[in-house]
């Protein structure tokens, strides 16, 4: 992809050059190109100087500031949200540490609960078997009593 200069792509720049040659003549185009280069260099210098002045006045925390960063959305992301993200990362690390601590403390309890669950299941099965036996005995006693002699 062709680099863009002042939002002018490669094909657009070629059209401008061809028009300049046709309108101004091939003799004047190199001279005008030199002047345009000087003007662009001067404007870049002014922009860099203004950026350096702004950085110097804002202080060291804005040392990596670029002109594009002066857009409100980017400035907010680079300053406020950057600090908030660091705070959120710290909180997340603390929560993860607490989670690991709790899991470590709850692991033995979980093992004990699993053991209790197995024991309860065995006791329930034993009680069901006894209940079935008692039901069988009760049924036979009821049948004995109901049967006429």
Q: Could you write out the DSSP letters of every residue in 52-75? A: HHHHHHH-GGGTT--GGGGSHHHH
Identify the bridge partners of residue 8 per DSSP, sorted by sequence position: 5
pLDDT of amino acid 6 = 60
Q: What are phi and psi of 148, to 5 degrees?
A: -75, 145
CA separation for the pair 99, 101 (Å, rounded): 5
pLDDT tens for residues 113-130? 888 888 999 999 999 999
Q: Among residues 2, 23, 21, 22, which one has the least CA distance to residue 12?
A: 2
What is the model's pTM? Answer: 0.36
Question: Which range is least confidently modeled, 52-56, 76-80, 88-92, 99-103?
Answer: 76-80
Q: Using pLDDT thresholds of 50, 70 and 90, give the confidence band for residue 39.
A: very high
Q: Number of C-alpha atoms within 13 angstroms, CB side, residue 107?
A: 7
| Helix/strand/coil for 8 | strand
Residue bearing the bigger pLDDT, 69 or 132: 132
For residues 52-75, average pLDDT: 77
pLDDT tens for residues 74-92? 777 777 777 788 888 999 9
Q: Using pLDDT thresholds of 50, 70 and 90, give the confidence band for residue 99.
A: very high
Does residue 4 carry a pLDDT above 50? no
Question: Which range is least confidently modeled, 40-49, 54-63, 121-130?
Answer: 54-63
């Amino acid at each position: 992809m062709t680099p863009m200069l002042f939002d002018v792509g490669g094909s657009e720049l070629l059209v401008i050059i061809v028009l300049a040659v046709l309108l101004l003549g091939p003799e004047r185009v190199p001279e005008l190109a030199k002047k345009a280069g000087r003007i662009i260099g001067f404007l870049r210098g002014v922009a860099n100087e203004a950026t350096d002045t702004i950085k110097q006045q804002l202080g060291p925390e804005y040392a990596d500031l670029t002109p594009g960063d002066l857009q409100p959305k980017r400035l907010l992301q680079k300053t406020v949200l950057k600090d908030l993200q660091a705070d959120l990362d710290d909180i997340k690390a603390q929560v993860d540490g607490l989670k690991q601590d709790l899991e470590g403390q709850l692991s033995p309890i979980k093992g004990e609960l699993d053991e209790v669950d197995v024991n309860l299941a065995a006791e329930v099965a034993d009680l069901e078997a006894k209940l079935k036996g008692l039901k069988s005995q009760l049924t036979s006693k009821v049948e004995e009593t109901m049967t006429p002699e």
